[in-house]
Chains A and B, each alone.
Chain A
Amino acid sequence: MAKVPVSVETLREQFGPHLNYAPPGGWKDESIHPAEKLVKTHCCFCGQQCGIQLKVRENRVIGFEPWEEFPFNHGMLCPKGVKRYLQGNHPDRLLSPLMRSERGFRPATWDEALDFTVGRIREIQQKHGKDAIAIYGGASLSTEKSYLMGKFARVALGTRHIDYNGRLCMVSAGTAYKLAFGIDRSPIPWSEIPKAEVLFVIGANIGDCAPITTDYVWRCRDNGGRLIVADPRMTPITRNADLYLPLRPGTDLALLMGVLHVILRDGLEDREFISKYTTGFETVAESARQWDLGKAAEMTGVPPEAIEKAARWIGKSKRVILMHARGLEHQSKGVENCLALVNIALATGNIGREGAGPTMITGQGNGQGGREHGQKCDQLPGQRSLTDPAAREYIAGVWGIQPEELPQPGYTAEEIMEAIHRGEIKGLLSTCFNPLVSLPDANFTREALSKLEFFGVIDFFLSETAHHADVVLAGSLHEEEDGLGCSAEGRVIHWQKSIDPPGDARRDSDIIIDLAHRLGRGQYFPFKNPADILEELRIASRGGVADYYGITYERVDKQMGIFWPCPSLDHPGTPRLFVDGKFYTHDGKAHFNVTEWRPSGDPISDDYPLFLTTGRVVSQYLSGTQTRRIGALVDQYPEPRAEIHPRLAERHGIKDGDWVTVTTRRDDLTIQAMVVKTIRPDTVFIPYHWAGTRSANRLTHRTLDPRSKIPEFKVSACRIAKANAPDPSPDDRGPHLNHALRGGA
């Protein structure tokens, strides 16, 4: 049983998170022993995938140098990028496989750890069937590794159940764009943002979560563009907004329908575009009729005049970019929300042209590439559908198996955890995922993990989730293996290997390939290097929507990135989609989709009268497995704080820095308050990067969007009360810090 073997405190002493402040050898060492080489690669964190040069000496990353020629970020980096090099050579780094023991974890040999893993998987599959084992992947894996995970699940294990943490990120947008356009990718490269006349940003905290995009937004304004920001909080980009729409959490659909209503009411739609390039307009127009300004304002809390102004700016401009991220997507109607935004773009003809289009801001490092080639539960390489007979036949051919051998689609990430909880799935092999921190309703996740009969983890640090593991396979960092990534723009980039994994740690792909061989399926995994995997991936993706056939490491290096689709070696890539007015749908047209209002899965009530919404801060990344170990990043925002408006604070007698208990229908959390006028008085915001008693996801709920299966992180019902400072709980307080708390945005 995968219960935590010893106290969390003991595990923390051994495996951290400890704070690393200095590179190997210290700061002074570099002047005496300069770097041997600079490796042009990318940041390991968010979906912007900024170019960066890593300084390398004696197989260790000792620092960085900006990569000013890289066309996306021109050397710019956020604090996470500046400090990313401090995760290598970290005292917490796993240097060998670990096996659970009575006293925690003990080092093991690779043979012991891998044979144990294969033995347990076989036992469980023989007893309970192939689908009793599930695979978790992640969107920080290279595209080659993501491809490998999908093939490993379906060919080596034969299980239906593989999904990944991108399920918590891009799936609502991906589902919507596939419905509307037949392709899951941002339709434009970022270089078009400065060309827009109107930039409409909804549910996207660009300053904290996609910091480099801020520069593109400011340049748009310098060119005379107008910035509209819709968010329950004034996030950093709001400081220069020309129009701010402070909508109530979970009411994005009402706002977007109100905007569409005004556009149609005032005849601002692009009739020619609609009739030439789209289907389904009439039904959507009919459904927009009911969303008059009064209703939209009533639902959203945004003044009708402001909604009207936004609609007129959008309707009367020649070039509009509508940007969205998790705020719009992390809802039980996340797909509807994205479709409603797409409907506005289609109604006004804002797509396929320069400086125009709906644009998703992918959050995770390889959030784009990691969702294209088969790591999703319903997908085969090339963004092919696992239920499409032709796709099954083609991929089975590439893999040398019969189409019938390919499993059918399995559960999504949260559904896998629920199947574990009810005993249907008995074993889990997880990599690049920290579900105990990142899935909603963390207490439920903890219960589920402790029910696993086998739990194997591939990771480079021992995450809180990995505390439950039977075996931990020491894997590799971003800079320790060659691979492709794909940024939020759709630009395929090259993660250059800078160093080898330290100690006995191995490349992730070697671990998966070795497991496949030990499972007796080695003939399907003849890969020696990531380049071998890429060769097969290129063929597997060929002819699919996400066609990578023309992409090689050499070409990517030469062009500093290639936008897919890129179907042949002489194809230049496709920065802007739909230039020829052709879409990737069966009829080649863009599709309007009717959207339906549904209340949140966790509605406010007299007992829980406030909205809770969660998100990120600039110095931390996702579940914090990496960034909670980097000193300067932790100092910048050491503890989660509950942001509340002074009006709400006064009602409860709470001052800035006071302790406050936030209670939802799942659990309560006691943290310090941050009293700011930059949030709606009916809303509480908590960043979610922390574990244990500081975990915001103990409060969130497991309602999923019925199509994308994304959890509704952005809308929960809560109440607050002033609290006393809790006793320091040794098992999950942060590392001791000598730095004063500082406010974060």
Chain B
Amino acid sequence: MINFDFIERRESITSAAYVCWHCDEPTCAQVCPADAIKKGEDGIVHSSLKPRCIACNNCVLACPFGIPKMMEPEQQMMKCDMCYDRTSVGKRPMCATVCPSQALAYVRPEQIAHRREKPTNTFYFGKQKITTKVYMMAPAEREAVALDVVDYMWEEEHELAATRE
């Protein structure tokens, strides 16, 4: 129920793990023709309700983050519900519990304030503005970073100098 991938493996080692962002106004629920996707009072957007879901894939296509998955054998959309079975009894979601780098963290804002990155929960997809329950940690200040090993090697300047001579 988590999307993990390298952003552009050829170019860099940067990877991203996306849980559901639990939108304040979830697009998946808005487009559901069967009214099968519900948001709880705690802000958690749940998997489709089995008795209602017609496996039409609307939510899969509409979610700007690409989160919902159609589970073929069950003919039901399922998605990250922030491990409702765990969070509802006071535990952390499994992904944030085991994440080795704590890139996924289930914490109060003040517990994460000391990090170098800064939290944001506002996203733009074309004209659609989305605010979410889950925050993304974004760079505090942006600067250009070279991603190619070659840019760090000495031989490069060296070879160029030799060619010029």
Count A interface residues, CB 8 Å.
49
A214/B98 in contact, CB under 8 A: no
A221/B116 in contact, CB under 8 A: yes
Complex contacts, B115 vs chain A, CB 8 Å: 222
B101 contacts the other chain (Cβ, under 8 Å)? yes
A681/B150 in contact, CB under 8 A: yes
Q: How far is the CA of A76 from the CA of B106 in the complex (A)?
A: 12
B157/A303 in contact, CB under 8 A: yes
A745/B13 in contact, CB under 8 A: yes
**A214-B101, A222-B115 given; A645·B150 CB < 8 A:** yes
Complex contacts, A306 vs chain B, CB 8 Å: 152, 154
B152/A678 in contact, CB under 8 A: no
**Binding-face segment, A181-189, A235-243, A432-440, A448-456:** A235-243
A68/B100 in contact, CB under 8 A: no
Q: How far is the CA of A601 from the CA of B74 in the complex (A)?
A: 57
**Binding-face segment, A77-85, A582-590, A704-712:** A77-85
CB-CB nearest in chain A for B9:
A743
Residue from the list A76, A646, A675 in contact with B102, Cβ < 8 A: A76
Residue from the list B100, B103, B155 in contact with A78, Cβ < 8 A: B100
**A221-B116, A745-B6 given; A297·B154 CB < 8 A:** yes
B142 contacts the other chain (Cβ, under 8 Å)? no
CB-CB nearest in chain B for A31:
B85
A656 contacts the other chain (Cβ, under 8 Å)? yes
B13/A77 in contact, CB under 8 A: no
Residue from the list B100, B148, B149 in contact with A214, Cβ < 8 A: B100
Count B interface residues, CB 8 Å.
30
B12 contacts the other chain (Cβ, under 8 Å)? yes
**A222-B115, A304-B154 given; A677·B97 CB < 8 A:** no
Complex contacts, B102 vs chain A, CB 8 Å: 76, 215, 218
Complex contacts, A572 vs chain B, CB 8 Å: none
Residue from the list A81, A221, A743 in contact with B6, Cβ < 8 A: A743
Q: 0/1 per residue, B100-124, Cβ < 8 Å to A?
A: 1111000000000011100000000
**A222-B116, A239-B12 given; A246·B153 CB < 8 A:** yes
Residue among B103, B148, B154 with most chain A CB within 10 A: B154
B10 contacts the other chain (Cβ, under 8 Å)? yes
CB-CB nearest in chain A for B152:
A246
B56 contacts the other chain (Cβ, under 8 Å)? no
A647/B150 in contact, CB under 8 A: yes
A66 contacts the other chain (Cβ, under 8 Å)? yes
Residue from the list B11, B101, B114, B154 in contact with A677, Cβ < 8 A: B11
Q: 0/1 per residue, A649-693, Cβ < 8 Å to B?
A: 000000010000000000000000011111111000000000000
Complex contacts, B9 vs chain A, CB 8 Å: 674, 676, 743
Q: How far is the CA of A221 from the CA of B115 in the complex (A)?
A: 8
* A29 vs chain B, min Cβ distance (A): 16
* B112 vs chain A, min Cβ distance (A): 9
B163 contacts the other chain (Cβ, under 8 Å)? no
CB-CB nearest in chain A for B14:
A239
Q: How far is the CA of A743 from the CA of B4 in the complex (A)?
A: 11
B153/A218 in contact, CB under 8 A: no
**Other A-B pairs beyond A78-B98, A215-B102, 19, CB < 8 Å:** A66-B94, A66-B98, A75-B97, A75-B98, A215-B100, A218-B101, A232-B149, A234-B149, A235-B13, A246-B153, A297-B154, A302-B152, A304-B154, A306-B154, A647-B150, A677-B150, A680-B150, A681-B149, A745-B15
Q: Which residues of B contact A (CB under 8 A)?
A: 5-6, 9-15, 92, 94, 97-103, 114-116, 147-150, 152-155, 157
6 residue pairs of the A-B complex, CB under 8 angstroms, read A75-B92, A76-B100, A214-B100, A234-B147, A239-B13, A678-B149
